[in-house]
């Protein structure tokens, strides 16, 4: 008779092991962090004794659920804004609130709240992607859950990093600090192909390979992403990732809603695991992922809730049920993904997708004791049939609820007993969460009457641009530009001629930013107006960084097609002041030393300042890149155009106009 720490007896044991063994009157013996034995109650009790013996009569003993894609801290944003178009939701609500509130304390608290919900609902392992991931890791370790924590890297400035280089450095530090932890597995999370440059994707891949950690990313959540990839790279998203060698790293990709059959084949070939997020994909109207095709191709499948901001909870029972149902209805195939396989996706296959199949995901001797005990006969699951060994999977998948979880254990430690959470101070966490919600609400309310808010309210915000390098100089005529264009290191890609009629709306509070309504008349070679486009641009007040005396690192902007007349916007925004700027613009796209720049030669006609200006602009993603491009810009203006510092102008046109008496 061997003494162990804990015995669970008299339950229906679902091992979820390779043979899918079940014990109708089963038991599990646990010592330290691990499972010692699984078998019939009689056999286990004959061989093992323990002080902590848990009678699981009328209950199911099974592996804890594995949530392979979530954003833990975003639980603090649950139901903050729902039933909105993706752009309005993301750029109008989630991103502004994240910019304002996401800091280490936010991430820690949000993780604690999410851990509490997960433990209550039977999740024992999750994969997270967010900012300040060390905080997520620390809070999770304290709560006692197992997690793969992925530090986000992307080309935009993030709450925890001003540039991707900073993120990468932070990620490296994070991996080094956490890689030997018994519960936490650090990882690198390049946010998505459309938010990462090739350089970022490759750097993340190298980091993942260097430390042999998982690479987490979002792939093809929306149809738009597929279209945009083709436009921007002339490549399908998965082809681009294969080409960049990203899949040399152990990879798990969330969503994969819009992968085509060829891309599915590539995911299978390269062993990329997929985190299926049915609720979020439906709620944000992204679509229905081709799970049947992935199953047929042998893609490694798993299930994730995504963040609570788009779910709106972290309930894996709901998620695995929806996964099992949705694929059937969407393909008219009632036998695809039977309950048994849906539950595998949420247990063993999930652990394997995270490359933790050797440690968890099934009840087997030697594996960590990550398990849950579930009420087998609640009202909503009565009566019960035992004729077919699949019936019990059907019970768990089609009718069990998070509230049916009685006990939760991770790494041999009880995190919940008899529905009572043991590792988290729920009252304090909830009080702090309520406090955060009130502060976020105050922030959002203060935004009422705010310009961006009003823009969001009318819908149609389209994109967020990134950093821009810009230099401007006053010129007498077009000589400096002609000179530059004829330089042997300059290649002219494209040339356009516009007349631009800008109306600026200026507000009392300068922090509100500015809205520009622009009519862009495209002028043909014959001097006719060829086509007219109207756009609304919102410029956020920005802390511009200067790299050189006259080179600005300007901040991002929101752009929307202006599908209503100028009168509408005038009445809608009720600006303190309006300012008109009309100009004739000659525009060139050039390559200088292989880098793309835009050169504008502008002649202002309204107000009557009768001046000519040249502008040199380039987009940039990282600090290093900005430095490099700033240097090139200086070369163009100094050396190619011969315009000295005295010619440079640091104001926007609208400010020049406003400065006029």
Q: Is 460 in the site for a second copy (CB under 8 A)?
A: no
Q: Is 418 in the site for a second copy (CB under 8 A)?
A: no
Q: How far is it, in rounded angstroms, from Cα 576 to Cα 38?
A: 74
Tokens representing residue 26 in the block: 């089963």
| 72 and 128 Cβ atoms separated by less than 8 Å | yes
Q: Is 312 in the site for a second copy (CB under 8 A)?
A: yes
Q: Is 610 in the site for a second copy (CB under 8 A)?
A: no
Q: How far is it, in rounded angstroms, from Cα 546 to Cα 549?
A: 7
Tokens representing residue 654 in the block: 């609208």
Q: How far is it, in rounded angstroms, from Cα 48 to Cα 475?
A: 90
CA angle 174, 180, 185 (to 5 degrees): 60
Burial category of 531 from C-beta neighbours within 10 Å (exposed 0-12, middle 13-18, buried 19 and up): exposed
Q: Would you tell me how many other CB atoms lie within 10 Å of the CB of residue 639?
A: 12
Q: Is 100 in the site for a second copy (CB under 8 A)?
A: no
Q: Is 401 in the site for a second copy (CB under 8 A)?
A: yes
Task: Give least dist CB 436 to a second copy, A.
Answer: 7
Q: Is 329 in the site for a second copy (CB under 8 A)?
A: yes
Tokens representing residue 218 in the block: 């979002």
Q: How far is it, in rounded angstroms, from Cα 305 to Cα 324?
A: 14
Q: Is 313 in the site for a second copy (CB under 8 A)?
A: yes
| CA 346 centroid distance within chain | 21
Select from 44-52, 225-233, 385-393, 539-547 the region that touches a second copy (CB under 8 A).
385-393
| 93 and 80 Cβ atoms separated by less than 8 Å | yes
Q: Is 235 in the site for a second copy (CB under 8 A)?
A: no
* C-beta closer to a second copy: residue 331 or 496: 331
Select from 434-442, 513-521, 613-621, 635-643 the region that touches a second copy (CB under 8 A).
434-442
- With b for 16 or more beta-carbon neighbours within 10 A and e for fewer, the 281-310 pattern comes to bebbebbebbbebbbeeebbbbbbbbbbbb
Q: Is 322 in the site for a second copy (CB under 8 A)?
A: yes
Q: Is 411 in the site for a second copy (CB under 8 A)?
A: no
Q: Is 427 in the site for a second copy (CB under 8 A)?
A: no
Task: Provide the 3-class DSSP secondary structure of residue 326.
Answer: helix
Chain positions 121 to 180 lying near a second copy, rule: CB under 8 A, are 121
Select from 66-74, 306-314, 505-513, 584-592 the region that touches a second copy (CB under 8 A).
306-314
| 241 and 235 Cβ atoms separated by less than 8 Å | no
* C-beta closer to a second copy: residue 1 or 379: 379
Q: How far is it, in rounded angstroms, from Cα 153 to Cα 161?
A: 9
Q: How far is it, in rounded angstroms, from Cα 489 to Cα 249?
A: 39
Q: Pick one of 331, 466, 483, 534: the residue that binds a second copy (CB under 8 A).
A: 331
Q: Pick one of 99, 358, 384, 645: the residue that binds a second copy (CB under 8 A).
A: 384
Task: Give least dist CB 87 to a second copy, A.
Answer: 10
Q: Pick one of 177, 268, 330, 458: the residue that binds a second copy (CB under 8 A).
A: 330
- Distances, alpha carbon 26 to alpha carbons 56, 148, 392, in Å: 9, 31, 14
Task: Give least dist CB 380 to a second copy, A.
Answer: 4
Task: Give least dist CB 453 to a second copy, A.
Answer: 12
Chain positions 194 to 223 lying near a second copy, rule: CB under 8 A, are 223
Task: Give least dist CB 209 to a second copy, A.
Answer: 36
Question: How many residues does the structure list for the chain?
Answer: 661
Chain positions 464 to 493 lying near a second copy, rule: CB under 8 A, are none
Q: Pick one of 59, 281, 600, 623: the residue that binds a second copy (CB under 8 A).
A: 281
* C-beta closer to a second copy: residue 39 or 73: 73
Q: CA dihedral in degrees (222, 223, 229, 234; nearest 10)? A: 160
* C-beta closer to a second copy: residue 286 or 503: 286
Q: Pick one of 8, 253, 284, 616: the residue that binds a second copy (CB under 8 A).
A: 284
**In 245-338, alpha helices (H):** 261-269, 278-283, 291-297, 316-331
| CA 572 centroid distance within chain | 33
Select from 110-118, 237-245, 344-352, 515-523 the region that touches a second copy (CB under 8 A).
110-118
Q: Pick one of 13, 26, 107, 117: the residue that binds a second copy (CB under 8 A).
A: 117
Task: Give least dist CB 95 to a second copy, A.
Answer: 17
Size of the site for a second copy (CB under 8 A): 77
Q: Is 76 in the site for a second copy (CB under 8 A)?
A: yes
């Amino acid at each position: 008779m061997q003494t162990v720490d804990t015995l669970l007896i008299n339950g229906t044991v679902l091992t979820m092991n390779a043979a899918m063994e079940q014990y109708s009157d089963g038991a599990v013996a646990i010592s330290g962090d691990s499972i010692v034995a699984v078998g019939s109650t009689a056999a286990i009790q004959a061989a093992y004794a323990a002080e902590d013996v848990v009678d699981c009569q009328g209950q199911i003993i099974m592996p804890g659920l594995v949530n392979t894609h979530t954003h833990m801290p975003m639980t603090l944003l649950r139901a903050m804004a729902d039933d909105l178009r993706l752009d309005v939701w993301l750029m109008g609500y989630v991103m502004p609130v994240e910019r304002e509130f996401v800091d280490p304390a936010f991430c820690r608290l949000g993780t604690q709240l999410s851990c509490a919900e997960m433990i209550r609902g039977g999740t024992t392992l999750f994969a997270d992607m967010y900012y300040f991931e060390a905080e997520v890791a620390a809070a999770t370790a304290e709560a006692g859950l197992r997690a793969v924590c992925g530090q986000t890297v992307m080309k935009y400035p993030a709450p925890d990093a001003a540039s991707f280089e900073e993120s990468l450095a932070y990620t490296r530090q994070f991996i080094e600090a956490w890689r030997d932890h018994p519960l936490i597995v650090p990882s690198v999370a390049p946010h998505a192909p459309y938010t990462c440059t090739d350089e970022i994707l490759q750097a993340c891949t190298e980091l993942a390979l260097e430390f042999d950690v998982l690479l987490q990313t979002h792939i093809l959540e929306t149809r738009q992403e597929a279209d945009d990839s083709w436009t921007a790279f002339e490549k399908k998203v998965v082809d681009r990732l294969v080409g960049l060698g990203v899949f040399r790293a152990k990879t798990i990709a969330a969503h994969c809603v819009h992968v085509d059959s060829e891309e599915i084949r590539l995911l299978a070939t390269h062993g990329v695991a997929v985190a299926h997020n049915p609720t979020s994909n439906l709620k944000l109207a992204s679509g229905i992922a081709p799970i049947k095709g992935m199953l047929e191709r042998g893609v490694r499948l798993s299930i994730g809730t995504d963040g609570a901001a788009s779910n709106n909870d972290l309930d894996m029972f709901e998620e695995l049920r929806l996964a099992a149902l949705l694929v059937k209805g969407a393909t008219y195939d009632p036998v695809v993904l039977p309950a048994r396989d849906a539950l595998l996706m949420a247990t063993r296959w999930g652990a394997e997708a995270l490359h933790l199949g050797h440690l968890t995901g099934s009840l087997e001797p030697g594996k960590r004791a990550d398990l849950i005990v579930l009420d087998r006969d609640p009202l909503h699951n009565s009566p019960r049939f035992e004729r077919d060994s699949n019936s019990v999977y059907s019970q768990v998948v089609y009718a069990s609820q998070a509230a049916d979880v009685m006990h939760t254990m991770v790494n041999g430690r009880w995190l919940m007993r008899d529905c009572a959470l043991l590792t988290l101070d729920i009252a304090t966490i909830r009080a702090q969460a309520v406090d955060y919600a009130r502060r976020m609400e105050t922030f959002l309310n203060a935004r009422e009457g705010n310009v961006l808010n009003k823009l969001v309210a009318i819908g149609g915000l389209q994109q967020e641009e990134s950093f821009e390098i810009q230099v401007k100089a006053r010129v007498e005529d077009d000589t400096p530009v002609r000179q530059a264009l004829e330089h042997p290191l300059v290649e002219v890609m494209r040339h356009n001629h516009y007349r631009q009629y800008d109306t600026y709306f200026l507000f009392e509070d300068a922090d509100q930013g500015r809205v520009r309504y622009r009519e862009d008349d495209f002028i043909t070679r014959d001097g006719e107006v060829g086509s007219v486009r109207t756009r609304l641009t919102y410029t956020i007040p920005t802390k511009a960084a200067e790299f050189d005396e006259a080179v600005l690192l300007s901040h991002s902007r929101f752009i929307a097609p202006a599908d209503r007349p100028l009168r509408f916007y005038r009445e809608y925004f009720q600006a303190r002041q309006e300012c008109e700027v009309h100009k004739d613009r000659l525009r060139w796209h050039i390559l200088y030393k292989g880098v793309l720049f835009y050169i504008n030669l502008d002649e202002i006609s309204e107000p009557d300042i009768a001046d000519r200006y040249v502008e040199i602009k380039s987009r940039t993603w990282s600090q290093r890149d900005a430095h490099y491009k700033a240097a090139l810009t200086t070369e163009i203006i100094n050396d190619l155009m011969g315009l000295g510092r005295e010619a440079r102008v640091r104001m926007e046109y609208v400010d020049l106009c406003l400065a006029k008496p």
